[in-house]
Structure 1
Amino acid sequence: MPPMPKWFDADGEPVSCTEKIKVMQQNLQELHEMAQEALEDAVLMGCTETQVKDYLRLLMDSLENPYQN
């Protein structure tokens, strides 16, 4: 898993709350583990690594922010 970036709020200020950062890291760790398992399963079933990774990128791009103004 790549190293976590420094997180910033909408105003460009660093997110400094330890609990918020901890939750973010846990969520992204879980997401990484699930994506890794999905990739491994797909490859074992005969799918190509490239196709699965391309779809995972599309999946991420399709996420919507429910809190937009």
Structure 2
Amino acid sequence: MQLDMPVWRDTEGNTLACVEKIKVMRENLEELAQMAQDAYEDAILMGCDEAQIKAYLVSLMQALDNPYTS
């Protein structure tokens, strides 16, 4: 799966320039995308409604919590 990655920015809008950070971000998101694709395909093969599984995956992402906020 080929992902079009955005230019990553910090909370102040500055571009992240650290090559290693960007590499880790890309690897993590590619792995996540592949896992989501696999789960989606499995759900379809099991007879789940495509729209329902997509909606659930979206809600899963929207429910992520930032453990670093004070």
TM, length-normalised to structure 2 = 0.94
Identity of aligned residues (%): 55
CA-based RMSD of the aligned residues comes to 0.9
Does the CA-based 8 Å contact 2:3-2:30 persist in structure 1? no
> How far apart, in 1, do the equivalents of 2:41 and 2:63 lie?
22
> How far apart, in 2, do the equivalents of 1:6 and 1:35 lie?
22
Runs of 5+ unmatched residues, structure 2: none
1:54 is matched with 55
Q: Does the residue aligned with 1:3 lie in a helix, a strand or coil? A: coil
Q: Does the residue aligned with 1:15 lie in a helix, a strand or coil? A: coil
Bigger relative CO (Cα 8 Å, ≥ 6 apart) = 2
> How far apart, in 2, do the equivalents of 1:14 and 1:67 lie?
20
Moved over 2 A (4+): none
Q: Does the residue aligned with 2:13 lie in a helix, a strand or coil? A: coil
Runs of 5+ unmatched residues, structure 1: none
Q: Does the residue aligned with 2:65 lie in a helix, a strand or coil? A: coil
> How far apart, in 2, do the equivalents of 1:46 and 1:59 lie?
20
Report deviation, 1:2. Answer: 3.8
TM, length-normalised to structure 1 = 0.95
The number of residues matched between the two structures is 69
